[in-house]
Amino acid sequence: MIAIDEPSLANVLGFMALVSYSITLIPTILRIVFPKTKDTGIPKLLLKHRRIIGIISFLLALVHGLMMIQKRNFDFFDLKTFEIYIQGITTLIIFTLLAITSNNWSVKKLKKNWKKLHKLTYLAMFVLTWHIWDKMSGHWTYLTPISIGIMMGIIALFALRLRIEHQGKQQISEPKLTPAKLPTKITK
């Protein structure tokens, strides 16, 4: 029988960061994968509050990280520490970049680069899944399968979104032949 550990406060905060982060990914996915959800107003509501939810996610992740540093008594001068916690460090760096640029001033200053920078959120999605799987291996809490389930669901919906977008681009680039555009035989 597998023993399930009780989650620490740090794990609960990490879970809350994951849930709020997932909420920031949902509006675009809903709009593309489930277009009828536009009628409900949910994607629009989530888009309206996406930045603040993202900042909340960052703050929860930051406190989660700080609590884990305190709990594990990290040696920041040991390269092994960075090797072991590379996923968490990478995710936190991405979340930090996204949080500090989640404002109108950054959008204006960075212009097209702002969108490119904020696409890092999709990299974070995969690194975060790896982080959860790696760090919780061997000592799962009841939050672990829920976390992995949320991230795998988001990744599956993201992949579906990419497929739908790709198909839409293909349809746009392939000219449709209408009877007026069909080649005709030239007879002499």
| pLDDT tens digit sequence for 123-159 | 999 999 999 999 988 888 999 999 999 999 999 999 9
CA distance linking residue 123 with residue 25, whole number of Å: 12
Taking each continuous run of H as one helix and of E as one strand, the counts in the chain are 9, 0
Question: Tens digit of pLDDT for each residue in 101-111?
Answer: 999 999 999 99
DSSP sequence for 113-157: HHHHHHTHHHHHHHHHHHHHHHHHTTS-BTHHHHHHHHHHHHHHH
Contact status, residue 18 vs residue 130, Cβ threshold 8 Å: no
Query: What's the whole-number average pLDDT of the chain?
Result: 90
Side chain identity at residue 185, one-letter code: K
How many Å apart are CA 30 and CA 43, to the nearest integer?
A: 7
Domain residue limits, the chain: 9-173
List, in order, residues 6 or more apart from 66 with CB less than 8 Å away: none
Whole-model pTM: value is 0.84
Is the model more confident about 66 or about 83? Answer: 66
CA distance 23 to 88: 19
> Could you tell me which of 68, 69, 117 has the C-alpha nearest to residue 94?
117
Average pLDDT value for residue range 40-64? 95
